């Protein structure tokens, strides 16, 4: 039985017993390697994969919607990754702030660092990001910039919540689908269309991922009167921003979707599966660059207005 699969191409200058190039595909229990010719390996790789589909999913559906063991824990755990990161990077084990913010565009982080308001967190051992901390009207907040897209956002969310985070807020730039106000404005995302991949690893197939209802209830009427308008609506979460076709946009509009973004559905699916407090906001700033003077977020790249929003959200939810 093969205990570990590791593929390595051996020296092609040596004669092979099979096809000129050999591939190591595992170890025999005695310690010797199984070996096979490259042609054999390629033939195996081309065979159809027999993935058993759940009863409610067609057998010809994408593997993305099949063979998901939602009730089983992951072998790869975020706490273990961070443990190894601390060891390799020489970081102390220090909790992150209870309130954390995802800033996919990076404008908030740039504003805070440029004005000297933020400092690096001493214990954050993620290999891919920097965590900054700052004071927001008396609350310490951690912020990570430029984690764009569903899989990246959830990777960071997983790591934050095992490091002491209790509330995660995401404020992401988004494109207008159905006008709800004059841009720029914010949307409290009450649900997001699951047109990305990550959410399907956390929840069974379905159209929408919804915000935690108790958080929505606590926000109701509590974040009015900001400099930029705030409305509630649904969004379309996509993995492919440059595949926002006319037909896809028309479909989204017919479903009552207000804006398109890249993280919310996955973050809400993670929140539902892991019972975490996550609240997502879309900052509607553009019409997908179909006209000039697009992507205008406001002063300091929209950072002032975004921080005003986050302060109101923290006040309502904490």
Mutual angle of helices 303-317 and 107-114, in 10-degree steps: 100
pLDDT tens digits, residue range 32-52? 444 455 565 566 556 665 545
Q: What is the DSSP letter of 227?
A: S
Q: What is the DSSP letter of 279?
A: E
Q: How do 132-136 and 139-145 pair as beta strands?
A: antiparallel
pLDDT tens digits, residue range 62-86? 889 887 999 999 999 999 999 999 9
Whether the bond between 184 and the residue before it is cis, its omega within 30 degrees of 0, is yes
Asked whether 258 and 181 are in contact (CB, 8 A), the reply is no
Segments in the chain forming alpha helices (H): 38-45, 78-89, 107-114, 150-161, 213-219, 246-254, 264-274, 303-317
Spans of all domains in the chain: 1-51, 88-317
Cα-flanking dihedrals φ and ψ of residue 244, to 5°?
-85, 80
Asked whether 122 and 90 are in contact (CB, 8 A), the reply is no
Cα-flanking dihedrals φ and ψ of residue 11, to 5°?
-55, 115
CA distance 214 to 194: 21
pLDDT tens digits, residue range 188-233? 999 999 999 999 999 999 999 999 999 999 999 999 999 999 999 9
- Using alpha carbons, select from 155, 108, 158 the residue that is nearest to residue 298: 108
Structure tokens at 256: 């009552």
Cβ neighbors of 180 (< 8 A, separation 6 or more) are 187, 231, 233, 258, 284
Q: Which pLDDT does position 26 carry in this prediction?
A: 46
User: Is 58 a residue whose pLDDT tops 90?
Assistant: no
Q: Tokens 């019409």 appear where?
A: 287
CATH of span 88-317:
3.40.50.1580
Q: Which pLDDT does position 91 carry in this prediction?
A: 97
With pLDDT > 70 as the criterion, what percentage of the chain qualifies? 81
pLDDT tens digits, residue range 3-26? 444 444 444 444 344 444 444 444
Q: What is the DSSP letter of 65?
A: G
Higher pLDDT, 299 or 115: 115
Asked whether 297 and 184 are in contact (CB, 8 A), the reply is yes
Mutual angle of helices 150-161 and 78-89, in 10-degree steps: 80
């Amino acid at each position: 039985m093969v205990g570990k699969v590791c593929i390595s191409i051996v020296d092609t200058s040596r004669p092979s017993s099979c096809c000129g190039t050999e591939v190591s595909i595992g170890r025999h229990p005695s310690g010797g390697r199984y070996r096979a010719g490259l042609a054999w390996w390629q033939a195996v790789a081309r065979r159809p994969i027999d993935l058993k589909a759940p009863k409610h999913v067609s057998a010809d559906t994408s593997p993305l919607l099949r063979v998901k063991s939602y009730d089983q824990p992951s072998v790869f755990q975020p706490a273990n990754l961070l443990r190894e990161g601390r060891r390799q990077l020489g970081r102390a084990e220090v909790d992150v702030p209870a309130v954390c913010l995802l800033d996919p565009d990076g404008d908030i982080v740039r504003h805070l660092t440029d004005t000297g308001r933020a400092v690096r967190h001493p214990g954050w051992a993620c290999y891919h990001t920097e965590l900054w901390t700052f004071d927001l009207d008396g609350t310490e907040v951690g912020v990570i910039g430029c984690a764009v897209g569903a899989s990246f956002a959830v990777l960071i969310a997983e790591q934050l919540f095992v490091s002491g985070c209790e509330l995660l807020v995401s404020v992401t730039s988004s494109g207008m689908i159905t006008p709800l106000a004059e841009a720029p404005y914010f949307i409290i995302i009450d649900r997001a269309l699951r047109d990305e991949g990550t959410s399907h690893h956390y929840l069974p197939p379905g159209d929408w991922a919804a915000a935690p209802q108790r958080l929505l209830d606590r926000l109701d009427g509590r974040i009015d009167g900001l400099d930029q308008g705030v409305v509630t609506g649904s969004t379309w979460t996509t993995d492919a921003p440059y595949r926002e076709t006319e037909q896809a946009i028309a479909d989204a509009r017919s479903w009552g979707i207000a804006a398109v973004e890249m993280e919310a559905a996955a973050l809400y699916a993670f929140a539902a599966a892991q019972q975490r407090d996550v609240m997502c906001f879309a900052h509607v700033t553009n019409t997908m660059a179909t006209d000039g003077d697009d992507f205008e977020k406001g002063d300091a790249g929209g950072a002032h207005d975004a921080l005003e929003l986050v302060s109101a959200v923290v006040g309502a939810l904490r």
